[in-house]
Structure 1
Amino acid sequence: MNIAFFLTPKSELVYININSTMRQALEKLEYHRYTAIPLVNNEGEYAGTLTEGDLLWKLKNTSSLSFNNTQQVVLSEVSLHRTNEPVSINAEIEDLLSRAMEQNFVPVIDDDGIFIGIVKRRDIIQYCVQGLLFKNDSV
């Protein structure tokens, strides 16, 4: 089985550029009701995963920062506290599964390090459940 089978392509995802502002990130997270989103750089490479916690820590640890001036802080200035390690689209399925055990989503990159999408843990579990149900129905 190929990782592409589980891939949700970048065109169907919410992600944000690392040069966007904290305010833009907060609004995007709130609008989509997400707690984390992938970050990409200007070249389209995966740059990390931004979480609500990262933004809260930045607010807490920057005395001059308030919600009213978050549009002045770019995301490249925000420390990331979680690492969602990406997998290559050509990686073995075992690599994907081992990361999915630790991460809600696994970023997927191409051979040039360009972010091409994610694999959601939920999709892997759903596939496994359907396989088990099909197996039980055929017994």
Structure 2
Amino acid sequence: MEISSFLLPKDKVSFITTSVSMKVAMEQLEAYHYTAIPLIDSEGIYIGTLSEGDLLWKLKNTPGLTFDNMDQVPVTQIKKRIHNECVAINAQMEDMLVLAADQNFVPVVDDDGVFVGIIRRKDIIEYYTRNITD
């Protein structure tokens, strides 16, 4: 089976770009009930994944930073405490499964590193559960 069969395409996934502020990132996480969100640059290249924890640590460790002035902090200034790996669209299932064991979702990129979507761990588990119990 190809990993593309698990792909939730970019147009159905919320993501943020490197040009947004910390406030926008927090609003996106809240609006979509995400705990982490893909971060891409202006060319569409996957840069990393920003988590709620990253935002909280930035808030805690930045003197004078409050909810009222988070719009002044670019997401590029937020340290990502966990590096979520991405997988190429033509990767082997084993590569994707190894990453999905440690991540809620696996970002998927094309051959140029352009973000094309995600594979949710939930979808993988549901697929294997259906096939094991059938």
- TM-score interval, normalised by the smaller of the two chains: over 0.9
User: What does residue 23 of structure 1 align with?
Assistant: 23
Determine the C-alpha separation between the residues in 2 that align with 1:75 and 1:38: 12
Number of aligned residue pairs: 134
**Shift of residue 96, structure 1, vs aligned partner:** 0.5
What is the one-letter code of the residue matched to 2:4?
A
Q: Structure 2 matches for 1:117-132, cutoff 5 A?
A: 117-132=117-132
**Greater Rg by CA:** 1
Determine the C-alpha separation between the residues in 1 that align with 2:33 and 2:101: 23
Alpha-carbon displacement from aligned partner over 1:31-52 (angstroms, at most 9, x marks no partner):
1111110000111000100011
User: What does residue 115 of structure 1 align with?
Assistant: 115
User: For 1:119, what is the secondary structure of its paired residue?
Assistant: strand
What is the one-letter code of the residue matched to 1:70?
M
User: For 1:34, what is the secondary structure of its paired residue?
Assistant: coil
User: What does residue 94 of structure 1 align with?
Assistant: 94
Alpha-carbon displacement from aligned partner over 1:92-128 (angstroms, at most 9, x marks no partner):
1110011111111000000000000000111111110
Deviating above 4 A after TM superposition, structure 1's stretches of 4 or more consecutive aligned residues are none
User: What does residue 44 of structure 2 align with?
Assistant: 44
**Shift of residue 15, structure 1, vs aligned partner:** 0.5
Alpha-carbon displacement from aligned partner over 1:44-78 (angstroms, at most 9, x marks no partner):
00010001111111111110211100001110010
The percent identity for this pair of structures is: 51
TM-score normalised to structure 2 length = 0.97
Structure 1 unaligned regions, length at least 5? 135-139
Determine the C-alpha separation between the residues in 2 that align with 1:80 and 1:25: 13
